[in-house]
Each structure stands twice: as structure tokens, then as C-alpha cells.
């Protein structure tokens, strides 16, 4: 019984440290990939949750804004319009 408690006290923190380290490594790899030098042609402008299973999203793609709904069944294009230009306030 004593051997079991010693193993538990040693291995439990080790497993927790490995899980924490792998999550931190994953975060670093995701941020490194997001700051790459490649130009992105797709950008998510805005998202809104309508229900736990349905989300609306505005996606900018090659100068167009596309309104899509995302659900468990997939994506559905709802509307499309020219991209809004960013106005500079004086």
C-alpha cells in the first residue's frame, strides 16, 4: 500500500506537468503559424451564436464578404456582398 502511494505522489505530478507542457507547446505552435509571412486570403470578420448548435459568420474572401451559417450539418452560404472599406476617421 505504501509503494502505491509513493508511485501516485511521483507519477501524478509528472503526468500533470506533461499535459500542461504539451498544451503550452500547442499554443506556441498555433501562434507561430498564425504570424507566418504568407498572405491570407480568408479572414473571419465577425461571428454570432444564434443557438448552441447554430452560428452565423461573416467571412471576407478576395474582396467579398460572405455570410454563412455553421451548424452540425455543415456550412451554408446565406448572402454575399462587396467587402466594406475601412474608413479613416479624422
4 and 18 assigned to the same domain: yes
Residues 67, 77: contact at Cβ < 8 Å? yes
- Domain check: are 4 and 26 in the same one? yes
SS3 35: coil
pLDDT at 50: 93
pLDDT in tens, the chain (90 residues): 899 999 999 999 999 999 999 999 998 888 776 655 566 788 888 999 999 999 999 999 988 999 999 999 999 999 999 888 765 544
- Residue 47's domain comprises 39-83
On whether the pTM is more than 0.75, the answer is no
- Tell me, yes or no, whether 33 and 5 share the same domain: yes
**3-class state of residue 64 by DSSP:** strand
Q: Do 52 and 18 share a domain, yes or no?
A: no
Instruction: Looking at the structure, tell me whether residues 10 and 44 fall in a common domain.
Output: no
pLDDT at 14: 95
Same domain, 50 and 33: no
Counting DSSP H helices and E strands in the chain, the numbers are 1, 4
Amino acid at each position: 500500500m505504501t509503494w502505491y502511494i509513493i508511485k501516485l505522489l511521483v507519477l501524478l505530478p509528472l503526468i500533470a506537468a506533461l499535459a500542461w507542457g504539451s498544451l503550452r507547446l500547442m499554443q506556441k505552435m498555433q501562434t507561430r503559424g498564425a504570424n507566418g509571412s504568407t498572405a491570407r486570403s480568408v479572414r473571419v470578420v465577425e461571428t454570432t451564436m444564434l443557438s448552441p448548435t447554430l452560428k452565423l459568420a461573416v467571412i471576407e474572401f478576395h474582396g467579398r464578404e460572405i455570410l454563412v451559417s455553421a451548424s452540425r450539418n455543415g456550412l451554408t452560404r446565406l448572402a454575399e456582398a462587396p467587402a466594406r472599406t475601412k474608413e479613416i476617421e479624422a
